[in-house]
Structure 1
Amino acid sequence: MRFRSAFPLLVLLLAACGAPPAPLPRAEPLLVAGYLTEWSVYGRDFRVKDLAAERLTHLTYAFGRVTGGRCATGDAWAAHQRPVAAVDSVDGVADTAADTLRGSFGQLRKLKTRHPRLRVLWSFGGWTGSAGFTEAARDPAAFAESCRALLADPRWAGLFDGIDIDWEYPNACGMTCDDSGPAALTGILAALRSALGPGALISAAVPGDVGRLRSADYASAARHADWLGAMTYDYFGAAGSGKETGVPHSPLTPYPGIPRQTAATSATVDELLRAGVPAGKLLIGVGFYGRGWTGTARGLEDYRVLAARCPPTGTLGGTAYASCGDQWWSYDTPETVAAKVAYARDRGLGGLFAWELSGDSDDGALLRALSG
């Protein structure tokens, strides 16, 4: 109680000294979002019916494509054509030849009927699908209109509550490089807001890397979005993240010996807040997977596998690591996820999101911690 009563005075004193006030700790519930990948129905055999939707406020379906500067479907067979058997269906009823909407979209419609408060977004882009945004940025209005028309397709009209833009990366390099300029993402999000209207949800995934964050005007982009989701994972061990081995891929905070002081969730958050992104519009990401090494060979594995095969032996920078035989892994656990939730609340952030939901254990341990 003493801390709560003194905090507003501290804010006033900082403002009087010319320092930007720190965000107030968040009192209202955090937004809890999770990505469902289009390809998870194949090798992973993870389906819409496997989602613990009651623990999510928002679900993001990834990915649609950006083709010719326009929104387009991704894998049509998985998305809306593939018949779903009764045993794999949300309501236990199999798809038939007469059903005009099958696949994951049909199951998402059933899921929303069962969980009417769940909001569903369709994400476009991703690491391998971002090249088309450069062309989209040349005519944002046409891009946005194509997205509006796609969401209104009679086969799934009303299913999606909005759009997520996963551009990796505006005015920077990911799998491909873009030089559209710092305002390109703002132009796309502003056009989407105009085309979809004020009631639609619009979000954007943004880099965790501080250098890439400085290549675009994310504060201006945030004005047209409901939230920005910072990809605060893969700081190390992934393509384009550096050649360092044996370091955690998603630390919450820097630690002694970290190869780059800015390669941590807290540094990403500091950079975005310093740039002017409102804390309440910022989400941090949690990877439901680990990255590891055997000698210098890199690997990636789901949390569900690592928790049983290579359980954690310690923590570093607010994330867990595990040594088992000649392997070294880093990944988040329910305990470290809970600490990230507490951090998000303390910083006044809007919430957290999971990439991606199929990596969780069968008992949903990470999602339970994320929604705690």
Structure 2
Amino acid sequence: MRFRHKAVAGLATLLLPLAGLVGLASPAQAATSATATYAKPSDWGTGFEGKWTVKNTGTTTISSWTVEWDFPSGTSVTSAWDADVTSAGTHWTAKNKSWNGSLAPGASVSFGFNGAGTGSPSNCKLNGGSCDGTSVPGDAAPTAPGTPTASEITNTSVKLAWSAATDDKGVKNYDVLRGGTKVATVTTTSYTDTGLTAGTDYSYTVQARDTADQTGPVSGARAVRTTGGTTDPPPTGDKVKLGYFTEWGVYGRNYHVKNLVTSGSAAKITHINYAFGNVKNGQCTVDDTYAAYDKAYTADQSVSGTADTWDQPLRGNFNQLRQLKAKYPHIKVLYSFGGWTYSGGFGQAAANATAFAKSCKAVVEDPRWADVFDGIDIDWEYPNACGLTCDTSGPAAFRTLSQALRTEFGANYLVTAAITADGSSGGKLDAADYGGAAQYLDWYNVMTYDYFGAFDKDGPTAPHSPLTSYAGIPAAGFNSADAIAKLKAKGVPSAKLLLGIGFYGRGWTGVTQSAPGGTATGAAPGTYEAGIEDYKVLKNSCPATGTIAGTAYAHCGTNWWSYDTPSTIAGKMTWAKNQGLGGAFFWEFSGDTSNGELVSAINSGL
């Protein structure tokens, strides 16, 4: 949740089971047995979504998996996620990603794809054996190498070394991954990475491969910052890297625009959403005028190093953002309106969308700060559905509002929207015309977090930002992969979708079970709100003890938390790139460490 302003992805216990389950699996008794099952969650006539689930039904851990099947001629995979899918004629092969190959006894993992044609899979094989769990090859994958050490760090290079992995038939080589992407394959236990950028943060892991070409789990991550560097930003590439800056953060959180500079984050982002403007009487308005354009900054608090004067025409956050853009010209700033608290005004706004759009442009183009903003972001929680209040404006209202904003702002401004990530059947993504509205917007910030939390005080405990589904997830469709797949199926281009990352955790107390699915007695204590805590606090107070569905969780004492770490963010960024997404965004800057660990992970990963 974006604390007092962001919505829960869904509060109700859901939903319908996945349709079209094909009976390719049954329980097996072998110690290393596993099953693979196929389902078709959706079919839109010209194509379909397919989903495979691999489950370890044995008593020993499976370190990697490969699913093979045949499609009839005319049926094919057009895109896939959470697995590397290849084909040879009509024979298809899917191998695990670096982050989801290891399956403990009883654990499962799913991967999906969009397909063309009408055929169904046949001749399924899992790790060379049958998919019904009766035979799985006994050749074990290698263990994880030791967490690499870093030495001889220069402006452009670093030497890495790690302890060897073990394997029953011998380790052949090691893949070195930077930010989750392979940069080298070596036969020794050291590697020197070159061609790096001065003054830049990197994250390295290592993965072993045995003589049978099986890959094992990745090692722990080693963060490295090269020496040197200036305030000039490094190239950001073509992916959007957007962070929310909260207007109220300058008070209790004591987080200011200058923190983007001192943390190193400003050099690693492309866009900032300033949150939030209010929506009153069908119009856009500035919310806290003091924080926005009146608060005076001393020289040491200011981005420019110059103190504000009592009679200057613009002070506050807006002036600090102006100074930030002068220092980092590549950054674009959007004014975000709405959020969890202020979305109740959108229904009235949609009733006269043209007047609303004109009011928003008047705020964005106010002569005092017209040079600060490059666009507008609408955070309506939720069109034709319930958030803090319930909206009944109808499924077309969001599209109408988006069209009016584009007409008013024109092609030279960015127009974007933060939207629900409820991928369930008949859920919030089905309540409004997100597919039709996409043509008017530059991108969607898909809020792939807040799926689960202590708003269900008794549990079950579950990660609030799962990348994929998993066995025992409390609600079907409440994960990033399902939400992105649904938006793609509605016709939204991949490049117009940004994956959401929360810089905070959600937690319960009264929990005795370390694994997800435990019962609880209420919300865990939090600095600003029960059940919520910043990453910068949790990384030390309750370090991660496990991962599931591409994100991390932690059990300490009787408290249970879930949150993203630099390592899980690296995996999510790899997934986003493989999906062809336009980039990523996060809520929000002040939850990060003082040296911007999570921003660095997003930047490196993209």
Q: Same fold by TM-score, threshold 0.5 exceeded?
A: yes
Aligned to 1:264: 479
- d(CA) in 1 for partners of 2:318 and 2:413? 19
Q: Give CA-to-partner distance per residue, 1:305-332, whole Å, 9 cap, x none.
A: 0001111011011110111111111000
Paired AA for residue 146 in structure 1: S
Aligned to 1:17: 117
CA contact (8 A) 2:504 2:533 kept: yes
- Secondary structure (helix, strand or coil) at the match of 1:263 reads coil
Aligned to 2:595: 363
Aligned to 1:223: 439
CA contact (8 A) 1:245 1:293 kept: no
Gap regions ≥5 residues in structure 2: 1-83, 92-113, 120-236, 511-520, 524-530
- Secondary structure (helix, strand or coil) at the match of 1:354 reads strand
Aligned to 2:407: 194
- d(CA) in 2 for partners of 1:141 and 1:81? 30
Aligned to 2:363: 150
Q: Flag the 1:305–1:76 CA change in 2: closer, same or farther, 3 A.
A: same
Q: Flag the 1:91–1:224 CA change in 2: closer, same or farther, 3 A.
A: same
- d(CA) in 2 for partners of 1:263 and 1:358? 26
| Superposed displacement of residue 238, structure 1 | 5.9
| Match 2:242 to one of 33, 48, 53 | 33
1:287-306 correspondence runs (5 A): 287-295=502-510, 296-298=521-523, 299-306=531-538
CA contact (8 A) 1:252 1:266 kept: yes
1:207-222 correspondence runs (5 A): 207-210=420-423, 211-222=427-438
Aligned to 1:24: none
| Superposed displacement of residue 5, structure 1 | 10
Asked whether 1:87 is paired with 2:319, we answer no
Moved over 4 A (4+): 3-7
Paired AA for residue 44 in structure 1: R
Aligned to 2:452: 236
CA contact (8 A) 1:236 1:242 kept: no
Aligned to 1:330: 562
| Superposed displacement of residue 99, structure 1 | 1.2
CA contact (8 A) 2:457 2:508 kept: no
Aligned to 2:319: 106
Percentage of matched positions with identical amino acids: 52
| Superposed displacement of residue 273, structure 1 | 0.8
Asked whether 1:250 is paired with 2:465, we answer yes
Q: Flag the 1:16–1:230 CA change in 2: closer, same or farther, 3 A.
A: closer
CA contact (8 A) 2:454 2:507 kept: no
Asked whether 1:168 is paired with 2:377, we answer no
Q: Give CA-to-partner distance per residue, 1:142-200, whole Å, 9 cap, x none.
A: 00000111111111112100000000000000000001111111111111111111110
CA contact (8 A) 1:237 1:243 kept: no
- d(CA) in 2 for partners of 1:101 and 1:220? 39
- d(CA) in 1 for partners of 2:478 and 2:86? 34
- Secondary structure (helix, strand or coil) at the match of 1:311 reads coil
Q: Give CA-to-partner distance per residue, 1:35-61, whole Å, 9 cap, x none.
A: 001011011111001112111111000
- d(CA) in 2 for partners of 1:254 and 1:350? 22
Asked whether 1:124 is paired with 2:356, we answer no
CA contact (8 A) 1:81 1:102 kept: yes
- d(CA) in 1 for partners of 2:462 and 2:546? 13
- d(CA) in 1 for partners of 2:116 and 2:560? 49
- d(CA) in 2 for partners of 1:244 and 1:197? 47
Q: Flag the 1:333–1:5 CA change in 2: closer, same or farther, 3 A.
A: closer
Paired AA for residue 480 in structure 2: T
- d(CA) in 1 for partners of 2:378 and 2:536? 28
Aligned to 1:273: 488
- d(CA) in 2 for partners of 1:254 and 1:161? 36
Q: Flag the 1:119–1:133 CA change in 2: closer, same or farther, 3 A.
A: same
Q: Flag the 1:190–1:302 CA change in 2: closer, same or farther, 3 A.
A: same
CA contact (8 A) 1:181 1:216 kept: yes
- d(CA) in 1 for partners of 2:116 and 2:562? 43
| Superposed displacement of residue 271, structure 1 | 1.1
Q: Flag the 1:214–1:132 CA change in 2: closer, same or farther, 3 A.
A: same
- d(CA) in 1 for partners of 2:532 and 2:311? 41
- Secondary structure (helix, strand or coil) at the match of 2:324 reads helix
- d(CA) in 2 for partners of 1:290 and 1:88? 29
Q: Which structure: larger Rg? A: 2
CA contact (8 A) 2:454 2:508 kept: no
Q: Flag the 1:79–1:184 CA change in 2: closer, same or farther, 3 A.
A: same
Aligned to 2:183: none
Paired AA for residue 534 in structure 2: D
- d(CA) in 1 for partners of 2:471 and 2:115? 32
Q: Flag the 1:164–1:18 CA change in 2: closer, same or farther, 3 A.
A: farther
Aligned to 1:352: 584
| Superposed displacement of residue 246, structure 1 | 1.5
Q: Flag the 1:242–1:177 CA change in 2: closer, same or farther, 3 A.
A: farther
Q: Give CA-to-partner distance per residue, 1:232-289, whole Å, 9 cap, x none.
A: 00000165x7963421111111111111131111111111111111111001100000
Aligned to 1:57: 270
| Superposed displacement of residue 93, structure 1 | 0.9
Paired AA for residue 549 in structure 2: G
Greater strand percent: which structure? 2
- d(CA) in 1 for partners of 2:478 and 2:352? 34
Greater helix percent: which structure? 1
- Secondary structure (helix, strand or coil) at the match of 2:267 reads helix
| Superposed displacement of residue 86, structure 1 | 1.3
- d(CA) in 2 for partners of 1:16 and 1:72? 47
Asked whether 1:44 is paired with 2:253, we answer yes
